[in-house]
Structure 1
Amino acid sequence: MPSSDPAAYAAGRGLRPHPRADCGSMRTMSTTNESRTTESMAGVPFAAHDHVRVGLLGAGARGSGLAANLAHVEGATLAIVAEPGSRELLDQRWPDGKDRPTVVNSAEEVFAADVDLILVATPWETHADLALQAMRAGKHVAVEVPIGVTIDQLWELVDTSEQTRRHCLIMENCCYGRNEMMVLQMARAGLFGELLHGEAAYIHDLRQLLFQRLPWRREMHTKIDGNHYPTHGLGPVAGYMGINRGDRLTRIVSMSTGHYGLEKWRERHLPADDPRQKETYVAGDINTSLLQTEQGRTILLQHQVIGPRPYDRLNGIVGTDGLFQDYPARIFIEDADEVDLDAEMGHVDWQDLEPYREKYEHPLWQAEGEAALAAGGHGGMDYLMLLRIVQNMRAGSTPDMDVYDGAAWSAPLPLSVASVAAGGAPQDIPDFTRGRWQEAYPGLP
């Protein structure tokens, strides 16, 4: 079990040693999707590193932010960055007084470099291929979300991690948000009773960005109709439910609205002769999916980046004894000893969250919250995510999130597309752990 002592996290000791052999040596064994002939990577610790040398693929908006946060993480050095395009953002964001990394043009130069870990922060459709190359070059790899965009890619990432004995981590920063880590503590303490239902989303008005700085992301709206970006909401809720560690995702149904938002935006804001006026969009403005787990729980999963809707990840969890709902954060916990049987039925008032926060604030936030907020990066989440990766590698501990988490949380992308195309028909979610989900192996701290 992870340590509950904030001082342990400050010292890098909020970690989980594990008796399984570490992944310091290469092995080459074959595997299939149906049955494992290689040993699982679930619960396998890193070989201990005195210092972690890191390479980065992509220094755009996301990659340059990761680089700036990593510069503040003790025990790590960003040694090399591959960015064939503009390096302006990296130059702007790099902290003063920190040794600058070598910047090269090709991913191959990073694969060949003397680094222990490679971060992938490139457009989505390149994630899986670059992660596969990194593992085959003998490097651990941490991949921006989603880690793959097809089920075949996700299986190949799982198989290759097992074959090479290299970890493939999903960089789901939202699992390290202050509220998310607090709710994780609450769920593990049984505060909500038996968990029944979760709510997760990525709701973020990106219309202007899609036409200004993210053409590759707008292009997705011309290709597929489904949930393009499931993991920011799903990852934390999966953590609350112990997905892959006592429960697993089993199936998904998905439906989309019509597509109107991008057409209206370009009509209002682009010149009539702009070539983007001719693009044909197929993705619905809102996609809503429902996932089921082996234990019979449900998860509402929604995606909307088109439309004037305030930012929201829902971040909800419902149990037999209470619930938490985010945006804004609120809680209700039923006290069986104080139930008024004569009161009007069905009336529940939200309670003051602060007493619960004082009791359930995650020790990682207690120890590192100030440093995380100072570093910035999505309210400290990016810093804590990178800090945990480095801490685990230095201590020879298991990763917080592994290739099986990355595959399960990314799978709703292609499977929602398949479900929408089939008129909302259920789609089975593969068991990427090949049965290991039934064992309690370490995960989020």
Structure 2
Amino acid sequence: MTTRRKFIRNTSIASMGIVTVPGFAYKKFSVTDKLNVGLIGVGLRGTNHLQNLLLRKDVNVTAICDIDENRIAIAKKHIADANGKSPKVFGANEHDYKNLLALQEVDAVIIATPWLWHTRMTVDAMEAGKYAGVEVSASNTLEECWDLVNTHERTGTHMMILENVNYRRDVLAVLNMVKQNVFGEMVHYRCGYQHDLRHVKFNDGKTAYGKGVEFGEKGISESKWRTEHSVKRNADVYPTHGLGPVA
């Protein structure tokens, strides 16, 4: 008889298999090939992804997209400082990312834009046959969650939510304990996430506490839009840090 423990273990393994088979698997790569990556959104989080990519020897950053010219300039400098080839740049308007997705020299994209754009950009990426890594929370409604699932099933192109908390050492330690049956049969889970943004002030990419929040036009990068979600929405606007590890 299938126990809850076996079900969780088997579905976890199956899910890992789905995630690790990229949408560009049909394209033949050799061990010497480099993956061509485009970035859609190079604000504070997107720039962090860019810096990590530039540390790799098996990746080319071939294109960047952002409607903020200042962030484009910062990204181009990072690439130049790393002796990378100058990327193609998109940012003429909010839909210019679609021209990036049309590039032959882009195999995969990292999407690090304001939350309301996550699903539509990820769907467009899968439609274009590009492997998509999308920042959390990836969607804003249940309908958008199904848009991601349905597009994957229809196109066969894969995406991954960049839920970093899944890979924290403490979270991975608990996962290993579950796999080793330390807790016995798992029948109930609880999760949560605390991140008080009321006393955070963004200043040129650096965070200072205790000075009051700055958002809207006074904010820098994501603080221009992120706090608005907490002000105007009566919801858990950022659930995946808790749900990711439990799932």
Do both proteins adopt the same fold according to a TM-score greater than 0.5, normalized to the shorter chain?
A: yes
- SS of residue in 1 equivalent to 2:193: strand
Give the distance between the partners of 2:117 and 2:74, measured in 1 at CA: 20
Preserved CA contact (<8 Å) 1:142 1:171: yes
Give the distance between the partners of 1:93 and 1:53, measured in 2 at CA: 17
The one-letter amino acid of 2:146's match is: W
Structure 1 residue 128 displacement after superposition: 0.5
Give the distance between the partners of 1:219 and 1:65, measured in 2 at CA: 23
Which protein has the larger Cα radius of gyration, Structure 1 or Structure 2? 1
Where structure 1 has 5 or more consecutive residues not aligned to the other structure, the ranges are: 1-17, 19-40, 239-445
The one-letter amino acid of 2:75's match is: L
The one-letter amino acid of 1:133's match is: D
- Which of structures 1 and 2 has the larger relative contact order (alpha carbons within 8 angstroms, sep 6+)? 1
Q: 1:45 aligns with which of 12, 21, 25?
A: 21
Structure 1 residue 173 displacement after superposition: 1.1
Q: TM-score, normalised by structure 2?
A: 0.72
1:75 aligns with 58
| 2:174 equivalent to 1:183 | yes
The verdict on how the C-alpha distance between 1:56 and 1:216 changes in structure 2, with shifts beyond 3 A counting, is: same
The one-letter amino acid of 1:202's match is: Y
- SS of residue in 1 equivalent to 2:178: helix
Query: Deviations along 1:247-305, whole A, 9 cap, x unmatched?
Result: xxxxxxxxxxxxxxxxxxxxxxxxxxxxxxxxxxxxxxxxxxxxxxxxxxxxxxxxxxx
2:208 aligns with none
Q: 1:107 aligns with which of 94, 97, 112?
A: 97
Give the distance between the partners of 1:163 and 1:174, measured in 2 at CA: 29
The verdict on how the C-alpha distance between 1:234 and 1:171 changes in structure 2, with shifts beyond 3 A counting, is: same
The one-letter amino acid of 1:153's match is: E
Give the distance between the partners of 1:183 and 1:92, measured in 2 at CA: 40
Q: 1:84 aligns with which of 67, 71, 76?
A: 67
2:164 aligns with 173
The verdict on how the C-alpha distance between 1:100 and 1:60 changes in structure 2, with shifts beyond 3 A counting, is: farther
The verdict on how the C-alpha distance between 1:202 and 1:89 changes in structure 2, with shifts beyond 3 A counting, is: farther
2:48 aligns with 65
Preserved CA contact (<8 Å) 1:65 1:93: no
Size of the alignment, in residue pairs?
A: 199
Structure having the larger proportion of residues in helix: 2
- SS of residue in 2 equivalent to 1:118: strand
- SS of residue in 2 equivalent to 1:202: coil
Preserved CA contact (<8 Å) 2:42 2:112: yes
The verdict on how the C-alpha distance between 1:193 and 1:140 changes in structure 2, with shifts beyond 3 A counting, is: same
Matches within 5 A, 1:203-352: 203-207=194-198, 208-209=200-201, 210-211=213-214, 212-213=219-220, 214-238=223-247
Structure 1 residue 43 displacement after superposition: 6.8
Query: Deviations along 1:391-426, whole A, 9 cap, x unmatched?
Result: xxxxxxxxxxxxxxxxxxxxxxxxxxxxxxxxxxxx
Give the distance between the partners of 1:163 and 1:203, measured in 2 at CA: 36
Give the distance between the partners of 2:56 and 2:191, measured in 1 at CA: 29
Q: RMSD in angstroms over aligned alpha carbons?
A: 2.4
Preserved CA contact (<8 Å) 1:136 1:164: yes
The verdict on how the C-alpha distance between 1:90 and 1:43 changes in structure 2, with shifts beyond 3 A counting, is: closer
Preserved CA contact (<8 Å) 2:197 2:227: no
Give the distance between the partners of 2:194 and 2:36, measured in 1 at CA: 35
Where structure 2 has 5 or more consecutive residues not aligned to the other structure, the ranges are: 1-13, 202-212
Which is further off, 78-87 or 102-111? 102-111
| 2:34 equivalent to 1:55 | no
Structure 1 residue 89 displacement after superposition: 4.4
The verdict on how the C-alpha distance between 1:139 and 1:186 changes in structure 2, with shifts beyond 3 A counting, is: same
| 2:180 equivalent to 1:193 | no
The verdict on how the C-alpha distance between 1:101 and 1:58 changes in structure 2, with shifts beyond 3 A counting, is: farther
